[in-house]
Structure 1
Amino acid sequence: MKLKVYFYILAILLLLVFGFTLYENLDAPSWKTLALEGLILGTVVYLVIFYRKTVRPLQTISNGMDLLREQDFSSKLREVGQYEADRVVAIFNRMMAQLKNERLQLREQNEFLDLLITASPMGVIVLNYDHQITDLNPAAVRLLDVKNADGVRGKTISEIKESVPIDLSEIPMHETRSIGLSNGTVYKCSLESFVDRGFPRPFYLIESLTEEVRRAEKKAYEKVIRMISHEVNNTTAGITSTLDTVIEGLEPVPEAEDMRQAMQICVERCYGMSRFITNFADVVKIPKAERELIDLNRLITNLIRFMEVMCTHKNIRLTFKPDEHLPPVLLDTSLFDQVILNIIKNAVESIEENGEIIITTEAQSKKLVIADNGKGISREVEKKIFNPFFSSKPQGQGIGLLFIREVLAQHDVQYSLRTYPDNWTRFIIRFD
């Protein structure tokens, strides 16, 4: 029960007592009656003053507590004309003004952080205490390649790892790892936490390192290739020249036929080593792409005629399904010819014999898909497939996919190479 109610009860009881006393003394002398009336009037005046000085200020402070509970920091209390109460009112009003300013600043900071996270190129994924996804910014939606953020909210990272390209489930708390994808991109992924309501709350940061890593890789392997190419070519040139001279000098000597054959094998081995190094050097010397609008369907049709002989020889069916509505795309014809030939060649080597390669173009999504039903690519190999000079073949040099990567990077296109659940391996190139 509020203090105001207690005051009303007390006032009524006092007035009843005084009224009953006055009623009992109506026959008393007039002076006594006047005294009782004066006492009742004085009591009423005192109650009014007491209400204004005590009950009303307390009621005002109680109203202020209600405002504070409802977090209405924009309202203020009015002074009541009582010194002690007005001091409390003044302190309360200052507190409310400070809370209002702090709340406004906090809201502005939160809005600023929201805008910053939304605009950030770094992916941010926030989890709840049960490690379920509660929020993710547009960059994270793009990097995870999900159509709708609501589709992954409420799920754990382990539950979505099979449907997204970046597997974050193996990252321990407070650690950072580099994750490579089937399209040659590299991401720096971290799992950290912040304190929310007294408890640690985890979140992921995803940062693209692709361009930085590629520039560093290219700078390193170009320097190594140039140095090795220079030394090997100079050395092999001297050796082959000397061996050719000795072979010519031994021609009149029939007994030296075996020696001449051994020397000829050494010469051929030197030329093979030179060609081996030249293959690496050619990657460094890829010319800059000179792009122009090209009919991709016509380009692929011409290349298929060139590749059909090799496919037919291995009983591989090569099929092209063009989308006639595909608009012209900006390409360097000579470089892109080599890209498609390398992709088809890799598909043929993956199938070996008795298989199928299907090439399709799609106008709506502006993409080229080269699919084969060969041996496929494991998830572990997917992460390394575009690394410089990596090859899953025993005698492979890893040059073909490196060449493809460098050319496609010059064309500013998105691409991926992976084996899907239907056991078809697809090389997908998306043109913006």
Structure 2
Amino acid sequence: MTDATTARGASTFDSWGRLDRRPRQAIRPDTFEDEAGTAGRDSYLPFGNGRSYGDSCHNDAGVLIDNRSRGRIHAFDPGTGMLSAEAGVTLSAVLSRAVPHRFFLPVTPGTAHVTLGGAVANDVHGKNHHQRGTFGNHVRRLTLMRSDGRVLTCSDSENPEMFRATIGGMGLTGLILDIDLQLMKVPSAHIQQHTIRFDSLDAYFHTIDRVDAEHEYSVAWIDQLATGRKSGRGILLAGDHADASCDFPDLPSGRTLGIPATPPVSLLNRLTLKAFNAAYLRRAKPGETVETVKWSGYFYPLDAIRNWNRLYGPKGLYQHQSVYPADVAPAVTANLLETARAAGHGSFLTVLKRFGDHPSRGLLSFPRPGFTLTLDFANQGESTLRLLDTLDRIVVSAGGAVNPYKDARMSPQTFAASFPDWTSLEAMRDPAMMSNFWRRTAMAL
């Protein structure tokens, strides 16, 4: 490795779960380009903006390629909504350019601080999968640099197999350089939000077919700690883009709160979560209410709190996201919620959504038809790991899958059951690219 390799502080290259904090080495993309053709096996891994929760963004046996320095938007056509940009551009920067022209991201995850390269590599999804599928469905072209120095143009018509492997390939096929993305025309970026309070999981599943048929977006927050007749209660937030008469300013002010330091213990325990859940539920009136809300609050509520992951304390947090078939979703969802409660774990962010029938382009994309449940747990050591293993078994036995870019500990067997086509990605993996996740799962099979 050349002298251009530099050590950075652990806070710079942490994953969002902050479970394994340590100094990590990184190089700039131009250094990787200079070393093309001389790289050893498993030497590198591209790094976006550190919003993956587990170890899919780390390669502790090698070095990271810090792609954040590649943050230029090459072109944006305000007539067609076609955007061409470097992979280090964040979704926030895309929105700043596009929203004043009445264009929006066709698919967005729950944070705008993801890079375009990270959004492609993880084939992220949003609140409208039932309408528009995954992020990769809207990528028209990308350029990819392999460690042997080749630069490949990848699309449906050029190098299509590498295109599919790179979408959802977690950075293992090479360094994404540039991306062409088709944005979505909207009358306003802001959202006409329908807030529907439901008192049980049965009520949610009774309602969701109608809601998803009528609205572009839908997502449900669940009170994971509620028991008895209240078990599974929550709030369903459906939405559509507001009309052009909306009088909110196009771009948010940018003012945020922040968590300045990590508390010595997790502030998100069962006591505080019960109080928060009760207060949050009271904010929603019974039945259905409609109001226009700012797009930043609907899509990215936690972006308003810098470093909110510090609230989970010095041991960090585990996120568990799974997907399972629709015909078993009511029973599996109830089982997952009850299993976490019985293990003494409370989840701050408990989110339930439907995945539609839109096929993903990506070879190893996580979304598939069914329902997806996301749970966040403060790390309590072995008891948390045992719980997560149990959740995995429930999901896999139901014919479901566990999300790899939210994971930090799934077994190789769980990974193989979730992604039986993993060998196809391994066959197309750049031999110089490796991650802690891939080494821990695929390479152990």
Quick one: higher RCO (CA 8 Å, sep 6+), 1 or 2? 2
Taking structure 2 as the reference length, the TM-score comes to 0.23
Q: Which has the higher helix share?
A: 1
Query: What TM-score results when the alignment is normalised by the length of structure 1?
Result: 0.23
Which of these two proteins has the greater Rg computed from alpha carbons?
1
Higher percent of residues as strand: 2
